[in-house]
Amino acid sequence: MSDPTIAAKQPAVMELEPGTYHWCRCGKSKGQPFCDGSHKGTSFTPLAFDITEKKKVALCQCKHTQNGPYCDGTHKTL
């Protein structure tokens, strides 16, 4: 598997409503931090995750987190 594209070196901080979301793992999506299908033809697939109640989250945009889809601070070392 090749390395993902770094979309940004800071998390996307947002409030999400309950539902299922698909986090972009490849870094090529134009709708960061969510998947828009840009991974087609690569070894990457999006990560589905569920939010059960409205909450504020920090989603990784560097795509190197060890706790996807959430930011773990890895972007500080890239």
Q: Which domain holds residue 64?
A: 12-77
Q: What is the pLDDT of residues 13-71, one digit of tens each?
A: 999 999 999 999 999 999 999 999 999 999 999 999 999 999 999 999 999 999 999 99
Q: For the residues 1-17, what does the mean pLDDT come to?
A: 94
pLDDT of residue 45: 97
pLDDT of residue 2: 85
Tell me how far apart the alpha carbons of residues 74 and 18 are, in angstroms, rounded to a whole number: 27
pLDDT of residue 1: 59
- Residue 77: φ, ψ to 5°: -105, 0
> Would you say 23 and 68 are in contact if contact means Cβ atoms under 8 Å apart?
yes
Tell me how far apart the alpha carbons of residues 2 and 65 are, in angstroms, rounded to a whole number: 15
Domains held by the chain: number: 1
Considering the domain boundaries, does residue 30 fall inside one? yes
Looking at the DSSP assignment, which residues form a beta bridge with residue 58? 13
